[in-house]
Each structure stands twice: as structure tokens, then as C-alpha cells.
Chains A and B, each alone.
Chain A
Amino acid sequence: MKPSKHRDTRLLVSNIIGVVACALGLNYIIWRYIASLNLQALWFSIPMVIAETYGILDMLLFVFMSWRKPEREPLSPPEKAEVDIFITTYNEPVDLVATTARAAMRIDWPDKKVYILDDGARTSMEKTAEEIGCNYISRGKDWRGKPRHAKAGNINNALLETSGEFIMILDADQIPAPTILRKTLGFFSEPSLAFVQTPQYFYNLPPGDPFGNEASLFYGPIQQGKDGWNAAFFCGSNAVLRREALMQLGIREYVETMEKRERETIKRLAKRMQKTSCDDAETCAAVKRLTEGLKAAGEALDDKASLEHVSDLVIEAVRDAEFLISRKEVSEIAGAMNELAKEGDTEAAAIYRHIIGNLDSIARRAPSLSDTLPLRGSEEYLEALNLARSEEAVPVQALATISITEDMATAMRLHSLGWKSIFYPEVLAYGLAPEDFGSSLKQRLRWAQGTVQVFIRENPFFKKGLSFPQKLMYFATMYSYFSGFFNLVLLLAPIIYFFTGIAPVSSWSVDFFVRFIPFFIMNKIMFRFVASGIPVWRGEQYNLAMFPLNIKAVLSVLSGKKLGFVVTPKHKEEGHNFRLIWPQTTIIVLTIAAVTYGLIGFFGGRGIPAVGLLVNMAWSIYNVASLVVVVRALYYQPPEGWNAQLPEFVIQTDRRPAQDDSANSCPAGKP
């Protein structure tokens, strides 16, 4: 068979398995709702059936995602294309960045410029960049005192200082293969293609991947599936992007933000005018002038006048109102001078005459002292109406800054503007995964929080311009981070059963088994078939075991607390912090206690039916077998003599000074 034919057959089989698994799943869950809820214990059976429904929907989304997998063969690259290669860094070791930069300099493409974007503004980094012969950018003084927006801000800043037609983004530790541009640039012959994402591959995973960092499922079947619906995700590194697409995104966002802000400001000021009372004719005239001005500006905005024009209408009204108030105040001073003059003060008389003679011009120049009206001195309106976005260092922000993980939001905005994306599955860059459990958890938490943040602030279902499958693809990923609550229910269920004898189903009957077991088995087969050889058990373990982290992520975003961008540590943190795994350990201990209690009860002749005992024991074993992964991870020590190996092409071609060869085997700073 030809490879493509083989692929087609494989996909067909995969789809059939998927459909069967979905049918069995629906068959099971519908039966659960209509015929098997334990009505005596709704407090238990309802959360349980909701948790099960969550799982079924997750499976449906997965099957839909895996429905088609486009074949991606590199196309011949254009003859000429300027590429800017951005290496983003904040506090990673200079050596680590240098290895990446050297590899970037060796990429096989004539028209490229390599930039180290150093958010740490380190002189040592700048010096190293010079030695390597690449460019160095750090934030300028425009950014002083402004929100920095972490990595997104770093890239947005560099976008405005460079000009290549394409941009390749690399994290500090992602060593690119020399062929990376030749294999990806060809795809851009499609003019509406915004980016090509390639996999993140980790060359430092310890044997057995104790921390579950292996990403080949995501950068394989999952991204390929999303690619099938033109919804491949941009993942922040190892991707080539079209500058035009990014800039367009930034400009659109600028226009929309400015328009929204102007509308809100006018509304707010108008409201304030309504509440302002006036006691004298001049103040009343000023209020009237402002009110009219705001009304005219609002109407102009609705009539699609330019924002500059609308701003000017407001500013003019403010100026006029200020003049009216000022004139009143100046007249009052003149009045006081006149009183003094009447008492014989000749100097006051002169001032009086001067003021009265030049009343208007003085009033125009004198700033008003009034604070009853929102006048020129009040910053809130100036900020909003100068179209300058003064609170930000750069007005045009191509990369989304709404989330601590900027990549997903950026990709979604690009897709919503009609741009296309491609996932090209060949590994073309080699990076580092966190080398200890604590760091790995920090990274997971950041992803989870970032994803939930995007879900809340830019829900794909309300995003105009996305196709329905694209919405589903984004939703599927966001949805998966809500699993913590449902997994907790699944973990507690057997414990509750053993201690109380209460089951979430009305009975452990034949009806239950004929529906549940085929579905369960088919679901596992389907997942493994789609994964096509990539180990999935570690991922399944972590999926269940990460329930505290996922719950924390959702709650922290919902609570509205400000979330910081944590740079994933690229070095090993020492020590075992038991606090990291107390929820999982508690569940393990409770489960073992519950099983023991159940067994004693069963053999002591108390209540639990044998079937219930067996089902819940099997369930408990599955739960514990999954959760122990974090215990193992916390106390994990790599085998004696094991070291991360840099990819061959780096070792062979890295012409580093001899005294500095330590980085060849351990760029993560391991001894």
C-alpha cells in the first residue's frame, strides 16, 4: 500500500472506532439519566452523573477533533523572504540562550536576522549577542512605568523595531534545526496563511517521563486534528508567523479598543453631566455646552465619524465650557478688585480695568479652578480621547495581552479574522522540559490559568469570524481544564460507597455492565488508536491526578486575582515539598482506608453486595494507580549517570570555545 493510502485507511478505521465509542458512550449516559439515578441519594448521584457527562462530552469533542488529519509535506520555499528570528528570554542562563542563538545563526536561510529579545536587559546577554554576531533588543524607555505584558510585550516591542516579512519565535531553550525555515516557509505560498507551528520536543526527559511533560500527543494527533479544521494552535515557540497577519491583528485590536473606550468615556461624562447641578447662569451655560457637545460626539460616533473627529468635538465642548467657567471666576476676581478700588486702592483699580478690558482673553488662558465639571485638567477624559493609549507603551499590540498565555488568544484572533494556520508535525526544534516536579507544576498551572482566562474573556462561542468547528476546537482545549471538579467527584465516589454503602447508581445490575463496560473499553481503544503508538497512560494518570491544580486554576481566574506570568524554570529546583501533593495523598489514604473498611464489612457479613464491592475495588485501584504518579514524581531521582543529550546536529556543529564545553551535555545547568 502507498503511504497515503495507508493513512486514509487508518483514518477511516479511527473514525469508525470513534463513532462506535461515541454511540456506546451516549447509550450509557442516556441510560444513566433516565433509568439508573439513585433517587434516594441525589446529593451523590447528581454530581456523579454530571461528572460522567463531562467525560462523555470530552470524548465526543476528541472524536470530532480527530476526524481528519491533513497530510503535510513541505512545499518548496520562496526564492526570497526576509525572516526575523526572535529568541525570547527573561532570566534564563546566558549560556542556554547562546546555544539557541548559535543554532539560529546556522539555520539554512540566507535572508535572516537573529534577534535576542532580552527582557532582563542584561549586559552579559548583550555582550554575548555581539560575540555570536546576532542582534540584541531590550525594551526602551517608552516602557518605563507601563505594563510590560511579559513575553507578549517583549515580542510586540521587537515587532516595531524590525521589518522582516516573516517572524520565527523561539523560546530561549528551543534549539532550532538548520532546516526549520526551508521546511516551513513554503507553506506561506498560501497568501492567507498566518502561521506554521512545529512541535515542541524535549531532549531532557528522564526515562519514563515521571513528570508527564512528554508533549508528543499534543504536538501530534491533537494538533494534527485541530489542523484538520484550520484551527492549529500557535504555541508561542517554534513557529513561523507572517508579520502582516500579526500587525493586522494589532491594528484591528487598536481600532476596536479605541472605539469602545471613546464610547464609554462619552457615556460616562454624559452621565456625570446629568448629575451636575448648577446655581448660576454661567455654570449652567457651561453644563449645557458640555452636555450638547457630548451628545453631538455620541451621535457622530454612531454615524461612523472618525474617532479623531469625535474626540475633537468633545475637546471643543470642554474648552468652551472651561472658558465659560473661567470667565465667571475671572469676573469674580475683577469684582473683588473693584470693591478694593472703591476703598481707594489705586493698584486694585488698575487691575480691575485690565481684567475687564481683556476678560475673554484672560479667561481663555486661565485654567479653570472648578472641579464640578470634568474639564481639561481631569485626566480620565484626556487619556481616553487622545487616541494615544497612553497607559500602554506601544499603541499597537499584535500579540494578545489579555492572558498570561498569549499564544492561544493570538491564534484565536487570527483565525477569527479569516487567517489560516498549519501544524507541521516534524520535530524541528529541541527544547527543555522542567527538570523537577515543582517547576513542572508551575508550568502546568500557568497554562491552565491562561487557558481559563481566555475562555472567560474571549469565549470562542461568542467570537465572530470563527467557524463552528474552530469554535469547538478552542472550546475543547479550554473545556479540558475544567476537569478538576469532575475528577474529584470520580475520586470520591468509591470512598463514599465503601464508607456509607450509598451508590451513585440505583443498582449494580447487568444493565449497568452491558452499557458501561463496552463503552469504557471502546473509549480506551479509541484513545490509543488515535495516539498511534504514543504512550498515553502517563497522560491519563496526570489528567486525573492534576485535579487540585485544575481546580485551583479555575478558582483563581474566577476570583479575579491578578495572575503573574511565571517564567518556567529551566534549572532543577532541589528538595521535596510534600505540600505539592497533599490533596492526592489524602485521596490515596482515604481510598485505601475505604477499601479496607469495605472488605472488613463484606467478610464480616455487613451489607455491601459482592458486585458493588468488586466494581468499587476496581475503580479504587484505577484511582490509586493514577494518583501515585505524583508521589513518584515528587521523590523522583534520575538514574545514576543519566544526562540530557543535546541533539546530534548541535554537538557536531557547535563551535564553542574549548573552555566552555559544559553546555554540550547539560544546558540546563545540571552538573
Chain B
Amino acid sequence: MDILSDIKVLELAHSLSGAFCAKLLADQGANTVKVEPPGWGDPARREPPFINGIPDPDSSTIFLAFNTNKRGITLDIEQPQGRKLLLRLVADTDVLIESYPPGHLESLDLGYQVLRETNAKLVVSSITYFGQTGPYRDYQGGDLVVQALGGFLNAVTGSADRPPMGTTLEQMEITAARNGAIAIMAALLQRRQSGEGQQIDLSTMEAAVSTPSGLIQPYSFTGRSPKRGGSDGNVMDGMHLPTKDGEVTLTTAGTGGRPMEAWSEFLEEPRLLDPKFATRPSRLENWEELHILVAPKLALWNNLDLMHETMARGLVIGLVQNPQQVVDSPHLAERGYFVEIDHPEAGSLKYPSPGFLMDEENPMEGSKAAPTLGEHNSEILGGELGLSAEELGQLRASQII
């Protein structure tokens, strides 16, 4: 599809949010160059686990997953020559994504004003944990810290009588990145009208606050802060219950307002009709008894059979699938969801696509794997910027690339 094939993106790689944001654009065909510091490159390259079990800058799973369809160069922008080369790249770039601590690019004389003087059409997206202003701007971040400060830890998952519990796999970084992609698209559409670029200040903490529906406005309307524990004792609407080959979570949806009648019939367990299970509060109150009735019945089912039978009756469940079950999913296979991509270190693997088909096509068909460290130095700095082999050699010798 390559919707963004006319857009050039530079990613100054320091954060997962920046990497995922640039990936969202690259997966739609944007010509995306990841600029990494020489040495080990993006810190994500050091992040275990490694796909072959051996630490190597090209085989961190998080790096592989978040950097598809990008080309990669190494460049030390803290050295004057590196800075100059970056500005030459900026001159012919549409979007620059960066995640340095606020003020760092200014200290290298690469602040927004300088970038703008180089290229008035440039969209600069700064994605940092706390944003460019405010008393926390220089604070140290991280996904867990932002889950805490963003209100997510206290309210979203975990049990009411246990400590706050985090959500897996850096979801705040991912949420910030999704918001970044929206803001960048808006800026690109605006640029069509104004002819000018834009600076975007995106805060991961704020992305965390705005993401669950139920934080600020419920507190403002009711005076009560939402708190974790929504699945505690919630047999029919939140707990995970074992099946023969996995787990499932039930819902009361699709039952026409008569959940216990519908589930009693489906599970062939008439005792579910007991009045003490008739309302949500009474089910919570008697959850242990309810659990004893429901769990053995579900344990008779295989996951996929349970899914098909409930679907046929309009009941709504969620199979708690492990990643392997997701990879093996017949449903996703029929939709052509995963794209197979080859990589020199990682080999051939199935990668997730963005989550939408456009005109029945997967936009990630024909994707390329994450770049190895400095893979495109010659192609981009030589071929596209026109540096000679000699100049490239000199840059390598002074460790600028």
C-alpha cells in the first residue's frame, strides 16, 4: 500500500516510544532512517531476551519487533562532523522523531529553531516521559515510573488487596507512540495547507493518564478515585478460569440481560439459577460458591471448541491465549495477519501487522526486518548524501559512524 512512501522520517533512537512511533510510520511505507550512536547503537539492542539466546546487537527481540521497515545508520551527533551530517539529512526530511532529555538537542545546537532554519517544512516530534516543560521535565522516567505517575498502576490491573501491578511489555511507551503517530499525521495534513512544519511536545505520562477511560472525569464527577481490583471475585466478568487446554474469561454480554439463565443453559448447570447469583453484587458476594459451580464445567472444554460454541449462541467470551496460541491462531492465519520477514541473525519469523486491512490488503506485506547496526551507512551517507569512500573511511576512523 505504501501510503507514506512520499514521507521521509528520521528517528533519533533512544526510546521505545520513539522507535514504535517511527515503526508505525515505516510500516505504512515511510522512508524511515534510524540514527543510532556508534558502538552498541539504540539501547534497545542491549535489551534481553535475544532471539538466539546469545547477546548480540542485532538480535534483541524488542529491537527486532519495534524497528521493522527502517534503514539504519550510526552517527555520533555529539561530534561537530556528526552534527553537520545530521543537518544535511534534516534538510531533506519530513518528520524527525526524538526522545532526548529536554534541552539536550539545544545543548548540541540542534534545537527546534536550528532544525527549522535548516528545513521549515520539518515536523519535529519530541516524545519524552514528562514533556518539554513543567517541574518533572528533567526527571528520570521509564515505563514503570510512568505507569505509576500516570495513574495506571493504581487503578487498572491487579488486585485491590495486593500491591499495584504493572501491565506487560512497556504499554505506556506504545500508547505514547500511537498518540505520536496521530499527532504527526495531523501535522503532515496541516503542512499541506500551511507549507510549514510543526513542533510536537508529547508526554508519555500524559498518554498514560488519558488512556484508561476512568481516571480524571470519574473522579471529577463522583469524588472517588478509581481503584484496581475490578476482576477480584468477578467470576462472570473478569476472572480467568481454566479450560482443558488454557484459560478463558467470561462476560455477561450477549445474554439479553439474563446472564445466569444463558450461562446455566450453556454450561448445563441449573444451580447457576440460584437467586444468590442473580445480580452483579450478589455474584461478587457469593463468588466462591459460584466459582465452584462454573469452573469444573469450563474445564470440560477445549479453548477453540468453547469459542465456536459460545459464538454460535451469541455469548461473548475471551480465550486467554498465550503468545504461541496467538501465533498458531487459525483465525489470524485466515486473515493473513502475520507477515513473514527474514533477518540475517534472527532468521525468518512471523511479525504482527498494524491491526487493519486496507482494501483487503495487509499494509505490511513485503516488509523488511529491522536494520543491523550501521547497515545502511554506505547506502545513505555515501549513495544519498554523496560522501566519498574516503570520507566514509575517515568518519569510521574517528568513530563518528
Is chain B found bound to chain A in the same assembly?
A: no
Q: Which residues of A contact B (CB under 8 A)?
A: none
